[in-house]
Amino acid sequence: MFLLRKYEEGDLPACAVCLFESFFDCPVTEEDMAFLRDYAEVLIEKCSFTYVAVCERNVVGFISGHFNKPFSKKLAARREAKPHYGVWMRCFFKFAFGGYKLSPAFKAQFDVFYRQVKEGKDAPLACDCELMALCSRKSFRRGLGTALWNTFFERVRSEGGRSVRLITNTDASYTFYEKRGFARVWEKPYSYGEEGRSLVYEYKL
């Protein structure tokens, strides 16, 4: 059983762990986790809202959404997590210039992850709300993903949203979305020679 509530700043370290466990499986150092905390904070602060799932007093997953301006400029400008713009600048420049001393194993996996994320930069995302992240621990098959999505769905519906879109890829758990009524509206093979595709899914409320 999970308790769903709005994100609080103190949840950040646990959200970084959830992010790691969702996409990476290599050993990590404290420097690797420091980078993931900064990365998760930038992601959360650029979104309109974020919810976390709590089980036995521990944050075990989070989901974020961003309202788009054509739908509502007011909602798009309202962020429930106060942006710390210095974090974004520090994370961007520190990463770009090698300031994070990432372990070779983690850097290799993150390079693949980041390359895949950039593949979706040209994807069409005309919608009321973009689902920015669905990250959870390895125990997500216990209903965690469903609990997070249901809370996200209710939030968007309460704000009058009629469509949700997200970017994923064939290396991720895209079938999760298909089972919940999302329709694939766009796909594009990776441009860097590896097998796989970037995908955009849409849900009509």
CATH number for the domain including 87? Answer: 3.40.630.30
| Per-residue pLDDT of the chain in tens (205 residues, 90 and over written 9) | 899 999 999 999 999 999 999 999 999 999 999 999 999 999 999 999 999 999 989 999 999 999 999 999 999 999 999 888 888 888 888 888 889 999 999 999 999 998 988 887 888 889 999 999 888 766 666 889 999 999 999 999 999 999 999 999 887 778 889 999 999 999 999 888 788 899 999 999 9
31 neighbors 123 (Cβ within 8 angstroms)? no
The parent domain of residue 12 ranges over 3-204
Query: Other CB atoms closer than 10 Å to residue 46's CB: what's the count?
Result: 14
What strand order describes the sheet that includes 163-169? Answer: 3-6, 49-55, 58-67, 129-136, 163-169, 197-204, 183-189
Tokens of 4: 């769903």
35 neighbors 102 (Cβ within 8 angstroms)? yes
How many domains does the chain fold into?
1
This prediction has a pTM of 0.93
Output the DSSP codes for 87-113.
HHHHHHHHHHTT-S---HHHHHHHHHH
Neighbour-count burial for 152-165, b at 16+ CB within 10 Å, e otherwise = bbebbeebebebbb
